[in-house]
Amino acid sequence: QSFIPLYCAFLRLQLLPRARCLFDEPIQVKVAGLKSYQVVTMKARSTDERWVLFNSSAVYRADESGEIDLNRDPSLSGSYVGVEPMGLLWSLSPETLHKHFTKTKALIPHVVKISVHEEGEEGQMLAEVTNERFLIADGVSRVPVSEGNINGVLFTPPEGPFPAVLDLCTVMSETRACLLANKGFMVLTVAVFNDKPRDIKELHLDPHQEAVDYLLKQPKVGSKGVGVLSRSKGGDVALALAVFVPGVEAIVWINGCSASSGFPLFYRKCRILSPLPFDISKAIPTESGASIIKHILENPLAEENKGSLVHVQKVKGRLLFVASGDDLNWDSKGYMDEMVERLKRYGKNNFESVYYPLAGHLLEPPYYPFCPSSLHGVVPFPILWGGEPTAHIAAEEDLLEKIQEFLKTHLSCDLAKSTSKL
C-alpha cells in the first residue's frame, strides 16, 4: 500500500474504462485530488518474461481543479513530451541497454504498475494502480500444435467460420497471432528459426507448406486459402511460400527482404533460392554501443546474386508490402520499391504498399514498448532498429487496422466450405 499525504487524502488515480484490458486496447489515465497546478511525476514499471525491468516517467502539471488527464494534458519532460495518452506504456525502457521487451506467451498478461509521485526523481509515491493487459480474449482457444514438421500454436476464436492466417515469426512468439485471433481470425503461429540463427546453415519451406495444409483442413476455416503474416526474415520466406506452395491467398510482408537473406532455401529437397550474402564488416558502430547494419546485405539485383531473388512476379495471391523509412536493420523501403516496380513491369496489379517514413524496423502490436536497440540473432553484437518513437507508435496503431482490413478483404469466408468440413 502506498502512503498518501493528508493534502492528497482524496487523490484518485484511475485507469479507464477499466484496469484490466486487452494488450492492444488503449486506456485513459486520470488523476484527481491534487492541488491546483501541482506538478507531479507519473511513472510506469513492468518486468518482461526474462525478468528484465522496464521503466518510464513523465512530468505533468495539474489543471486548476487539481486534475490530470493523459488524453488531454501534455508531458512537460521525461520519457516523452507532449500529449501521448499511452506514452507511459510505449516508452517503457530497460534498466540496462540494448534489451528488447520480451512478450511471447499468450497466457501471461503484461502487468504494468502506474503511479503518481511528488515532483522530482525521488518524489514520494502518492498513489499506484495496476494495469493488467491480456493477450488472449475470452472464448479464444490456444492449442499447441506438434504434427509432422509443424511446431507451433493455434489460436481459434469462438464460433466461426474464420479466415485462416499463418503467422510466420522470425523467432517463436504468440503475441501477434493471439491478438489477431481476438479479431476473428484462426491463426497458427510458427517460427522461421526454431534454433539459434547462427547455428543454422539452411532453411526449408516444407514445414511451412505443412502448416498451410494443416490450416486448410481445420473445420472452422471458411477461407479458400491462407493468409501469411510476416516481418523481417519471415518476409522473404513468406514470399517464397506464395510462389511455390498452393493455397496462399494473401501475404503481409513487413520490413522484409526481396531475396533469401543470409540462408539458402530448400523445398522438397531441392535448393530453390541461393543465400544473399552479407558482410558484417560493413556494419557502422555508433556511440550507443549498437551498430547500424542496414547495408551489410549485398545487392540482390547484382548478377551474381540473382539466384537469391524471390520471383515475386509469380505470386498469384494478394500482396501487402509495408516498409519503414527509418529501418536501420536493412533497406526494406528499397526492397519494397524494387518489388513494386518489378510487379508493374510484369503487368501485375495484385499488390498494395504502405510506407511509414519515420518508423523503424520493429513494427510491433500497438503500445508494445519501443525498442531502439537490442541484440541480433545473426550478427554477434547489438544493433539499432531505427524509428522516431512517436511516429513509430502511430505507425503501429495504423498498421494493425490495415492488416485486419487487408486479410478480411482477401480471405473472405465461404460458409458452405466450412460446413462441408464438419
Name the residues annotated as catalytic.
232, 327, 361
Only one residue has cell 540473382, namely 306
Transcribe 342-358 into DSSP letters. HHHHTT---EEEEEETT
Per the DSSP assignment, residues forming a β-bridge with 61 are 39
Measuring CA to CA, how many Å separate 368 from each of 25, 191, 309, 342? 11, 20, 32, 34
Measuring CA to CA, how many Å separate 240 from each of 189, 257, 271, 308? 17, 11, 12, 11
For 162, the grid coordinates are 474464420
Spatial neighbors of 330 by CB under 8 A, at least 6 apart, are 255, 257, 261, 293, 294, 296, 297, 361
Strand ordering across the sheet containing 373-375? 284-285, 291-292, 382-384, 373-375
Spatial neighbors of 59 by CB under 8 A, at least 6 apart, are 39, 40, 41, 42, 75, 76, 77, 78, 119
Only one residue has cell 519503414, namely 324
Reference 248, options 258, 259, 238; nearest CA is 238
Phi, psi for 394 (deg, rounded to 5): -65, -40
DSSP structural state of residue 281: G
- Chain centroid offset of residue 342 CA: 27
